[in-house]
A and B are shown apart, each in its own frame.
Chain A
């Protein structure tokens, strides 16, 4: 087991005290495996990713346990965490425009982790950076290394970000919406690149996205999050073929479908995610769910297991399976 999060809870400071944005979630990730995390905005997926890096915002309280390579990360000293970051665990950010410093050359930024963690001299790191830029598929790596971020296209910048992340051969790469800011065609190529790097170097990938289509083709397992809670988790094919949770079902139905009749309206989920994440009774999705029954309002749904590693948090999970 490479990574194991158990009862992970994150509280952010808020005017009324604190807000629980991630509520006792547990998941794990094996060497070389890729795990997708989907959910709407505010479902806690980004905060979970930041917690794995130890980069939660000022004042956030992280509870529970995150074990990485057998080491407990929650409560780890900042210096020890900084040694892991960029070396054993790396992160690819959403917005390649803002995630690269506009005033530094691309090559220097890619070389940075190599000098820091591998102790390479400047020129060595520089050469490695050019090779990394080549490896992530930049056509003219020498030129790209000399360029400033503004001179590269969005896709090229994201490739440079990926080169920066994989430089030290991390065991886990966290990609937080790595393609959201890109065109669909570029998006496909970037995801293929991440897949390729994953199988080459056996690194694990945690892919955070709000886009089920992105998760589908590129992950082994998927975690569906809603309001800081894991609603459903399991192998991608199982979850997509036989969703055992009304929320997953609603997300699947809200996808645009090629070949849908003209003028057909896109299905949406009524309402919006709960803004106040107070300690609640019942199911967080109860207010928006089509299948809500009385018990949903009063009792938190239990975890129901289906087959291998497929679990759903819903009172009506078993009925849902039968109905389809």
Chain B
């Protein structure tokens, strides 16, 4: 298996390039798109790719290239906020669990297991059907799913650090748990968290696409790659390429983030590299 994996620095650079492209596309769409992404132009509907419309137009005559650009914005927004929610709550809960032991630790970890037991998409569908569809609720739903993953990782890696002698030495110097958590535990578990956050970012993009495809995420006139897929489904036999563009965009983004995660892991933690 390992023989066929790209070398660490290769995945780092390739992944980094793909993610940078994604970010650049989102940044560009803030100031410029070839056409307003939601502008309907029925006379030119389902136009093939041309100089005027690089990727053609969809069944309502909207410019596909503009939509792809605008869609990257939602993907990044969802990724950043959902992973942010996961990190903010997960790290704190994981650290509290690692330091407290006993009842508190059991409580946090059992609750994490409980939340974790539901598939991500099911959780998201449940939350969006309760609180209504929309990007904000989709983000919260995906973020909630991230919390137990980060909490478990934080607790496990923090326990590893706490069993090291320098954690004991810090206690022997009279330092309290908060100081030890901030000064000793966090810097040492940061690599693992960064790598996991990258992977969760990719999962968040996929989840948002799935939710929007199901009509539970982005609502018109917002544009999202998942919604584009859903729209393309109606004209799949007439213009299959319409499903191709958002599909490729999603696939490349997720691939890029996964490669970046792999590359970062190899770069940040040589010990993990030896094992893989």
Contacts and interface: CB of A to CB of B under 8 A. Distances in A.
Interface of A: 53, 55, 58, 79, 82-87, 90-91, 93-95, 98-104, 112-113, 116-117, 161, 164
B165 A93 contact: yes
A101 B184 contact: yes
B165 A98 contact: yes
Contacts of B175: 82, 86, 112, 116
Most buried by B among A58, A79, A87, A93: A93
A84 B183 contact: no
A87 B173 CA distance: 7
B168 interface: yes
* Closest 4 pairs (CB-CB, A-B): A86-B174, A86-B173, A85-B174, A91-B172
B171 A95 contact: no
Interface of B: 101, 164-166, 168-176, 179, 183-184, 187-188
B268 to A, nearest CB: 12
Contacts of B184: 101, 104
A113 B173 contact: yes
Contact of A84 (B101, B174, B176): B174
B173 A112 contact: yes
Nearest to A103: B187
Contacts of B188: 101-103
A106 to B, nearest CB: 12
B174 A83 contact: yes
Contacts of B101: 58
Contacts of A87: 174
A98 B166 contact: yes
Contacts of A113: 173-174
Given A101-B184, A101-B188, A103-B187, A93 B169 contact: yes
B169 A100 contact: yes
23 contacts: A53-B172, A55-B172, A79-B176, A82-B171, A82-B176, A85-B173, A85-B174, A86-B174, A86-B175, A90-B172, A91-B169, A93-B165, A93-B169, A98-B165, A99-B165, A99-B166, A100-B169, A101-B170, A101-B183, A102-B166, A116-B173, A116-B179, A161-B169
Contacts of B173: 85-86, 90, 112-113, 116, 164
Nearest to B190: A103
B112 to A, nearest CB: 21
Contacts of B183: 101, 104, 112
A161 B172 CA distance: 11
Contact of B174 (A95, A98, A116): A116
Given A55-B168, A82-B175, A102-B188, 7 more contacts: A58-B101, A94-B165, A100-B166, A101-B187, A101-B188, A112-B175, A161-B169
A116 B173 CA distance: 9
B168 A85 contact: no
Nearest to A117: B174
